[in-house]
Structure 1
Amino acid sequence: MTFKPLLKQASGPALGILCFGLVCSAQALSLQVESGEITGVRGIEIQGELYDLTFTDGSFNGIYSADDDGYGQLARGAANALLAASDSGAIGAAANWKEGLKLRGCAASESCTILIPEHSAGAAPSADTTFAVEVIYAQGQFRSVTAKLWPFHAGTDTKHMPDMMYAVLAPAR
């Protein structure tokens, strides 16, 4: 048997497996919505693993667990995964998506910045400065990811900043 007929015979099952895989990964992502606000994203794939992200206000030193100094390369991976989920339409296709949803902790009307800590000078609860990847959320989509890390004083509380909040990463449940 030559390669072309073999490819034709295998294309049906292979295509089915591919489609099943795409459907499964699309269903894995879900928005967490409470009181009309997005509180997080569950089942987002980062570096081949599934994670949950929760959006929250506070300070780096108050939110992150003791001895935490950031997520390393997972921070940029999480930011890019959010952007990819918006670009692919997966966010808009989520079961509880509605037009006009804001992120929890975002009082600004135009856009919000999500801080995902990569590393810090020191560890929580006594870090001095944290360096975060920024994800911009505007008009119902994750729009961009900054190339440079943003230095942020680890004791500054984002509750007093209407357009910023942190993302907390955890392995998917």
Structure 2
Amino acid sequence: MSANPRVSRRRASIFAALCFGIAGSAQALSLVVEDGEIAGVSGLDIQGRLYDVSFRDGAFNAVYPAELSGYGPLARAVAQALLAANPSIQAAPGWQANLRPRGCQSADSCTILIPEHSDGAAPNTRLTHAVEAIYTKDRFSKVPEPLWPFDASTDTQYMPDMLYAIITPAR
């Protein structure tokens, strides 16, 4: 009988630690809204490291820094983290259901391209393979499994339903 209070206290301590961890993660995540668009998401937790993601239109070779050929496995991890962050994003200050990622001009959905690997490095890449994060209406709705091959010189500004994600370590 004396073991039950210790077990209960131990469970309460574990539960409190989990709640504190979840609250800490939610506080780190923030929505970046500029000019009525989602310019990015900051403080996205990926395996204990925080990243900022911004959305931009342009061509791969113009948008990404020189020598970048893709994000490797981080691309899919970021896409999945955006999908999992929906509740936190929608609870963030400045959230409105009509917000769309910067560069998304489609009322239905937008494809956010996150380069995994390319046949070279920016600014001289010909073809990049990207993970897609699909944003539908007011949320990230899915991350398709296959990679999307994309001509690195194509400017997404002329594609109303496509844009790029730029990933940087959080400051």
What's the TM-score, normalizing by structure 1? Answer: 0.94
How much has 1:18 moved relative to structure 2? 1.7
Indicate whether 1:162 and 2:165 are aligned. no
Paired residues for 1:16-35 under 5 Å = 16-35=16-35
How much has 1:14 moved relative to structure 2? 2.5
Indicate whether 1:39 and 2:33 are aligned. no
Which residue of 2 is the match for residue 67 of structure 1? 67
- Please tell me the residue identity of whatever aligns with 2:91: A
- Please tell me the residue identity of whatever aligns with 2:92: A
Which residue of 2 is the match for residue 140 of structure 1? 138
Superposed CA RMSD in Å reads 1.4
How much has 1:95 moved relative to structure 2? 1.4
How much has 1:164 moved relative to structure 2? 0.5
Aligned residue among 150, 153, 162 for 1:152: 150
Deviations 1:102-138 (A, max 9, x none): 1110111111000000000011000110000011101
Rounded to whole Å, the distance in 1 between the matches of 2:22 and 2:76 is 23
Indicate whether 1:13 and 2:26 are aligned. no
What's the TM-score, normalizing by structure 2? Answer: 0.95
Contact 2:128 2:152 in 1 (8 A): yes
Which residue of 2 is the match for residue 109 of structure 1? 107
Give unpaired runs (5+ residues) of structure 2.
none
Q: Secondary structure at the match of 1:26?
A: helix
Equivalences, count: 171
Rounded to whole Å, the distance in 1 between the matches of 2:79 and 2:2 is 45
Indicate whether 1:126 and 2:124 are aligned. yes
Rounded to whole Å, the distance in 2 between the matches of 1:14 and 1:150 is 42
Give unpaired runs (5+ residues) of structure 1.
none
Contact 2:112 2:165 in 1 (8 A): yes
Contact 2:107 2:137 in 1 (8 A): no
User: Percent of pairs identical after alignment?
Assistant: 54
Rounded to whole Å, the distance in 1 between the matches of 2:159 and 2:2 is 65
Which residue of 1 is the match for residue 78 of structure 2? 78
Rounded to whole Å, the distance in 2 between the matches of 1:118 and 1:32 is 24
Distance 1:67 1:3, change over 3 A: farther
